[in-house]
Amino acid sequence: MYDKIFPPKRIALPNGKVVEQKRSRMPIVLVLLFLALYYSIQFTDFELSVLLDRWKEFFFIVFEMIPPQWDYFPHIWQPLIDTIKMSLLGSVLGSVVAIPVAYLASSNVVKNRALVSGTKVFLSLLRTLPTLVTALIATFIFGLGTLAGTVAIFIFTLAYVGKLLYEQIENVEMGSFEAMESLGMNRMQAFRYAIFPQVSPNFLSTALFCFEGNVRYAAILGYVGAGGIGLLLNEGLGWRDYPSVGMILFMLVITVFFIERISEHFRKRLI
Amino acid sequence: MIEFIHVEKIYSNKVKALQDVNVKIDKGEFVAVIGLSGAGKSTLIRCINRMHDITSGKLIVDGVEVNTLKGKQIRTFRKRIGMIFQSFNLVTRTSVLKNVLVSFVPDLPFWRKVTGIFSKEHKIEALTALDQVGILDKAYVRVDQLSGGQQQRVALARTLAQQPDIILADEPIASLDPVTAKQVMDDFQRINEELKISVIMNIHHVEMALQYAERIIGVRDGKIVFDGKTEAVTQEVLDYIYKGEREVQQAVEGEQAYV
Amino acid sequence: MGTIERQLYASPNHKRYFTFITIILLLLFIWSFTAVNLQNVESSGWEIASTIIAGIFTPDLELLLTFTTQGVPYLLLETIAIAILGTVIGAILAVPLAFLSASNVVPSPIAWLTRLLLIFIRTVPALVYGLMFIRVTGQGPFAGVLTIALISIGMLAKLFVDAIEDLDTSILESMTSIGCTTFEKIRYGIIPQLFSMFLSIIIYRFDMNLREASVLGLVGAGGIGAPLIFAMSAYRWNEVGAILIGLVVLILVVELGSNRIRGKLVRG
């Protein structure tokens, strides 16, 4: 299409051969990018002057958070642990449920086309729902508290791990699966002994990675009433009690840092 | 003409890579350097364009004493010497043509260097170089889409675009399969014969060396242990180069016509 | 002991380690159940759920298809604009930070400090930044742009560093043999390699930012999030349905497009 509007440039070599050079797409990409940026600035009321004028306000809050209010710690402890529990429970359950769902979504093990594409569409729909929205809906159904948060994390984990898992299953070496089938196993058994061992290290690694991210996410779920430390964060910010917010953030950073270290350690061993 | 006079190279870890090397290579020769891994083949070649410094002795290339060159002089000097590597060393995420054009970069005016916009003349030169190695049709393909043999040809075209007097090749076919290796060697031979460019090549495959080179230099433990026409290379000579058996030595010394 | 038997015992014994880890995991798992309290669950949960689902599947088509500033298309455009501008600003800021945290570029204390800063930036929830920026710019999409920019920095810088460490430096050797200066080596040896990698990373992050931008409205930082939350708290489920459908379609389309472009950039 593009080549028809802008015909390729012809370069003649001294020995008479002619080479056609396709026109670079760079100019049109640049124009599009420029337009996108221009309209984005229009749409979002972005104004550099405001930013240059008032950026100090941002650091004003940052400096109010330092030093954090250390004796707020006892209040933080329980919600923080709740946050971790929520993400752990949601991640484990989500990852486990992801296995059968991913099995159904893999076109190389399940032969029913409709079932496979149906499951795939279901997973991508789940994945596009923002976790915060799922959590909010969950609070309407399961009431305020950690259960709603756990459900939201469960759904996100199921969608995320499920997608990565079925992609791995579909890329697996099928030879051993066929060999197992020829030994007289049914598809389920062959999956268990031929495919699952191949994808399980990656699966565990993905699940761990997802758990890492979930701890981070779980921290804000309290914002919509879905339990955990987000509730305190919401209160602190609402009352402009920035030293307490600073303490919460400080604890959160430390927790996330340690969980990341631990999970990274195990993920490295897995691969 | 390349002339090694009592050249020695000692690495910082006291390993003697080259000891008392005396070699003269005339313009237009096709020389293959053979020997075990670690014998000093690579060092020998890399001293010629000053990728390595020599410790003592003299190395003269076309009347220029290489070890006295400094900074910008080295870079100007290197432009006349092309080099081919085992690992192709291409930017795989850009097109073949852009890779070849890199050889013109040192001579560009500053604004062209920054923008990466090349003149039509340079493009024609680069395309001609690609034509010489038979991959003109791949000019606008990304390098990572090409096979190993084709990638080595891109590297060869990049070197040809430099219009060098000498091409140094460091194990150019070591990572290629036998068929493509042969094609690349054919390219080297054609370049050597038609463009009268000297080729000095490190090579593992002895049969290939014997088939294509006019002259063989055998290296063992940093010393030149054989230097002669390809026809003079017998099984005994190879055993001497690779194993260093003593009884062969006498047989060889009679044939060292070149030193 | 026969050879076979010896081989049997010689098999690497990960079992104990494995059991140990499994037991710990199991204990943690059981322990985490204590977080779930079921007292708050209302018995009407299922009824509410079915109302919600019914509402979502009968979306408010008028809202979905009007092009005023209240309509879904406009709100989606605003969300996209926030994501685009935020991603671009974040990417510009992330490049110097990436080089500052690459231990092969700067002395290790500086790299270490920059990494610590990046971890900190990454961990603070987006909503907190949103509230902080509202103080700078007032409510509206501008605050959203700044928030997206800031939360992108952490991940972008980390992935940029990985790309920098993955550089194929063999090309530099051959450029040396051609007689190139350091500047020429960077311009023609390194930038072409990094450019497509960085671009691919930025597009990936844009994809994520679109999702982030869609919830920032919760704190008043613009985008489609605010009307979504309002509709939800007012139990107007057909409006929720209209907004969610728009959002899901947008995110799926963008994801499809971004995967395609990235595949082209990385594999050619």
Nearest chain B CA: its distance from C184 CA (Å): 7
Tell me: the pLDDT tens digits for B22-80? Answer: 888 988 899 999 988 888 888 889 889 888 888 888 888 888 888 888 888 888 888 88
Q: Which residues of A touch B116 (CB under 8 A)?
A: none
Scanning every residue of chain B, which has its alpha carbon at the shortest distance from the alpha carbon of C179? B75
Nearest chain C CA: its distance from A216 CA (Å): 7
Residue C233: CB partners within 8 Å, gap ≥ 6? none
CB C214 within 8 A of CB B135: no
CB C148 within 8 A of CB C137: no
In angstroms, the CA C13 to CA B249 distance is 55
* Count of pairs with CB atoms under 8 A, one residue in B, one in C: 78
Q: Which domain holds residue B2?
A: 1-80+166-259
Nearest to A61 among C29, C35, C135 (CB): C135
- Is C180 within 8 Å of B116 when comparing Cβ atoms? no
How many other β-carbons are positioned within 10 Å of the β-carbon of residue A113? Answer: 9
Query: Strands B215-220, B223-229: parallel, antiparallel or unpaired by DSSP?
Result: antiparallel
Q: Are residues B211 and B257 in the same domain?
A: yes
Q: Taking phi first (over 0 means left), then psi (-120 to 50 degrees means alpha), and beta for anything else, what does residue B171 get? A: left
Nearest chain B CA: its distance from C84 CA (Å): 25
Q: Are residues B152 and B172 in the same domain?
A: no
State whether residue C169 sits within 8 Å of chain B by CB: no
Residue B245 confidence (pLDDT) above 70: no
Scanning every residue of chain A, which has its alpha carbon at the shortest distance from the alpha carbon of C118? A253
CB B175 within 8 A of CB B167: no
Q: Which residues of C touch B106 (CB under 8 A)?
A: 178-181, 184
pLDDT given at position C150: 92
Least confident of A13-17, A98-102, C49-53, C97-101: A13-17
CB B196 within 8 A of CB B224: no
Scanning every residue of chain C, which has its alpha carbon at the shortest distance from the alpha carbon of B117? C188
Using the 3D structure, point to which of B118, B133, B163 is the last residue of a domain.
Answer: B163
In angstroms, the CA A224 to CA A202 distance is 33
State whether residue C192 sits within 8 Å of chain B by CB: yes
Residue B244 confidence (pLDDT) above 90: no
In angstroms, the Cα distances linking C125 to A221, A222, A250, C223 are 10, 12, 12, 18
Residue B95: CB partners within 8 Å, gap ≥ 6? B139, B140, B141, B142, B143
Interface test with B, best of A9, A10, A13, A20 (most B CBs within 10 A): A13
| Beta bridge mates, B84 | B169
Q: Are residues B200 and B212 in the same domain?
A: yes
Residue C22 confidence (pLDDT) above 90: no
In angstroms, the CA C141 to CA A195 distance is 48
CATH number at residue B218: 3.40.50.300
Using the 3D structure, point to which of B147, B163, B179 is the last residue of a domain.
Answer: B163
Residue A187: CB partners within 8 Å, gap ≥ 6? A109, A181
Nearest to C35 among A54, A82, A220 (CB): A82
- Is C180 within 8 Å of B75 when comparing Cβ atoms? yes
Residue A40 confidence (pLDDT) above 80: yes
Backbone φ and ψ of C95, nearest 5°:
-60, -55
Enumerate the H helices of chain C as residue ranges.
3-10, 15-33, 45-57, 61-65, 72-100, 108-123, 126-137, 141-165, 170-178, 182-185, 191-213, 225-233, 237-267
Nearest to B106 among C171, C179, C189 (CB): C179
Residue C97 confidence (pLDDT) above 50: yes
Nearest to C180 among B51, B94, B106 (CB): B106
* Amino acid letter, residue A194: A
Q: Are residues B101 and B159 in the same domain?
A: yes
| Beta bridge mates, B8 | B56
| Beta bridge mates, A225 | none
Q: Are residues B220 and B124 in the same domain?
A: no
Residue C10: CB partners within 8 Å, gap ≥ 6? none
Q: Which residues of A touch C32 (CB under 8 A)?
A: 84-86, 88-89, 92
In angstroms, the CA A237 to CA C125 distance is 12
DSSP label of C44: T
Nearest chain A CA: its distance from B178 CA (Å): 29
| Four-point Cα dihedral A255, A256, A261, A264, nearest 10 | 150
Nearest to A237 among C81, C128, C146 (CB): C128
Residue A56: CB partners within 8 Å, gap ≥ 6? none
- Is C192 within 8 Å of B91 when comparing Cβ atoms? yes
- Is B128 within 8 Å of A11 when comparing Cβ atoms? no
Mean pLDDT within A152-174: 90
Scanning every residue of chain B, which has its alpha carbon at the shortest distance from the alpha carbon of A24? B140
Give A186-207 as a DSSP string: -HHHHIIIIIHHHHHHHHHHHH
Is the sign of the CA dihedral A61, A67, A72, A74 positive or negative? positive
Q: Which residues of A touch B120 (CB under 8 A)?
A: 11
Give the tokens for residue B231: 């026809």
SS3 category, C64? helix
Least confident of A95-99, B196-200, C42-46, C71-75: C42-46
pLDDT given at position B200: 93
- Is A11 within 8 Å of B127 when comparing Cβ atoms? yes
pLDDT given at position C225: 86
State whether residue C12 sits within 8 Å of chain B by CB: no
Residue C86 confidence (pLDDT) above 90: yes
Q: Are residues B108 and B47 in the same domain?
A: no
The residue among B49, B54, B56, B36 whose CA lies nearest residue B219 is B36
State whether residue C182 sits within 8 Å of chain B by CB: no
State whether residue B133 sits within 8 Å of chain A by CB: no
For residue B88, being part of any structural domain is answered with no
Q: Which residues of B touch C197 (CB under 8 A)?
A: 93
Nearest chain B CA: its distance from A7 CA (Å): 15
pLDDT tier, C84 (very low <50, low <70, confident <90, very high otherwise): very high
Q: Are residues B47 and B70 in the same domain?
A: yes
pLDDT tier, B246 (very low <50, low <70, confident <90, very high otherwise): low
pLDDT given at position B257: 44
Backbone φ and ψ of C205, nearest 5°:
-70, -35
Domain residue spans in chain A?
2-65, 70-270
* Amino acid letter, residue A68: P
- Is C179 within 8 Å of B74 when comparing Cβ atoms? yes
Scanning every residue of chain B, which has its alpha carbon at the shortest distance from the alpha carbon of A9? B120
- Is C187 within 8 Å of B116 when comparing Cβ atoms? yes
The residue among B196, B168, B212 whose CA lies nearest residue B27 is B196
Interface test with C, best of A66, A92, A128, A139 (most C CBs within 10 A): A128
Q: Are residues B7 and B50 in the same domain?
A: yes
Q: Which residue has the higher pLDDT, A232 or C64?
A: A232
β strands within B111-231, DSSP E? 166-170, 198-202, 215-220, 223-229
Give the tokens for residue C6: 């010896």
SS3 category, A10? strand
Q: Are residues B18 and B30 in the same domain?
A: yes
Residue C39 confidence (pLDDT) above 70: no
Backbone φ and ψ of A5, nearest 5°:
-70, -45
How many other β-carbons are positioned within 10 Å of the β-carbon of residue B81? Answer: 26
Helix, strand, coil share of chain B (percent; to 5): 45, 25, 30
- Asked, as a colleague might, if the bond just before A67 is cis with ω within 30 of 0, I would say yes
Mean pLDDT within A159-163: 92
Q: Taking phi first (over 0 means left), then psi (-120 to 50 degrees means alpha), and beta for anything else, what does residue C235 get? A: left
- Is B142 within 8 Å of C178 when comparing Cβ atoms? no
Mean pLDDT within C221-250: 87
CB A223 within 8 A of CB A230: yes
In angstroms, the CA C76 to CA C93 distance is 26
The residue among A269, A245, A249 whose CA lies nearest residue A257 is A249
Nearest to A14 among B128, B139, B140 (CB): B128
Residue B258 confidence (pLDDT) above 70: no
Q: What is the mean pLDDT of chain B?
A: 86
Residue B132: CB partners within 8 Å, gap ≥ 6? B157, B160, B191
How many other β-carbons are positioned within 10 Å of the β-carbon of residue B3? Answer: 17
The residue among C197, C239, C233 whose CA lies nearest residue C218 is C233
In angstroms, the CA B9 to CA B22 distance is 13
- Is A45 within 8 Å of C140 when comparing Cβ atoms? yes
- Which chains sit next to C, with 3 or more Cβ pairs under 8 A? A, B
pLDDT given at position A161: 93
pLDDT tier, B259 (very low <50, low <70, confident <90, very high otherwise): very low
pLDDT given at position C10: 64
Mean pLDDT within A102-122: 90
* Amino acid letter, residue A23: R
- Percent pLDDT > 90 in chain A is 18
CB B8 within 8 A of CB B67: no
Q: In which residue are the tokens 């010689």 written?
A: C10
* A70-270 under CATH 3.30.1330.20, yes or no: no
The residue among A255, A135, A107, A116 whose CA lies nearest residue A195 is A107
* Count of pairs with CB atoms under 8 A, one residue in A, one in B: 22
Q: Which residues of B touch C192 (CB under 8 A)?
A: 91, 93-94, 98
In angstroms, the CA B79 to CA A176 distance is 54
Q: Are residues B144 and B201 in the same domain?
A: no
In angstroms, the CA C102 to CA B48 distance is 35
Mean pLDDT within A239-264: 87
Residue C38 confidence (pLDDT) above 70: no
Give the tokens for residue C78: 């605003």
The residue among A11, A24, A80 whose CA lies nearest residue A247 is A80
Q: Which residues of C touch A43 (CB under 8 A)?
A: 77-78, 81-82, 141
Q: Are residues B125 and B188 in the same domain?
A: no
pLDDT tier, C13 (very low <50, low <70, confident <90, very high otherwise): low
Least confident of A51-55, A131-135, B144-148, C130-134: A51-55
- Which chains sit next to A, with 3 or more Cβ pairs under 8 A? B, C
Mean pLDDT within C136-140: 85
Nearest to A17 among B120, B136, B140 (CB): B136
The residue among C208, C193, C195, C196 whose CA lies nearest residue C87 is C208
How many DSSP H helices and E strands does chain A contain?
12, 2
pLDDT tier, C37 (very low <50, low <70, confident <90, very high otherwise): low
- Is A22 within 8 Å of B127 when comparing Cβ atoms? no
State whether residue C193 sits within 8 Å of chain B by CB: yes
Least confident of A166-175, A202-211, C32-41, C47-56: C32-41
Q: Are residues B65 and B159 in the same domain?
A: no
Greatest mean pLDDT among A30-34, C14-18, C236-240 lies in A30-34
Residue C92 confidence (pLDDT) above 90: yes
Tell me: the pLDDT tens digits for A119-148? Answer: 999 998 888 888 888 888 888 888 888 888
pLDDT tier, A171 (very low <50, low <70, confident <90, very high otherwise): confident
State whether residue C199 sits within 8 Å of chain B by CB: no
Is the sign of the CA dihedral B143, B149, B153, B155 positive or negative? positive
| Beta bridge mates, B218 | B34, B226
Helix (H), strand (E) at residue A226:
none
For residue B5, being part of any structural domain is answered with yes
State whether residue C103 sits within 8 Å of chain B by CB: no
In angstroms, the CA A181 to CA A176 distance is 8
Mean pLDDT within C178-195: 87
Tell me: the pLDDT tens digits for B148-171? Answer: 889 999 999 999 998 899 999 998
pLDDT given at position C202: 93
CB B92 within 8 A of CB B144: yes
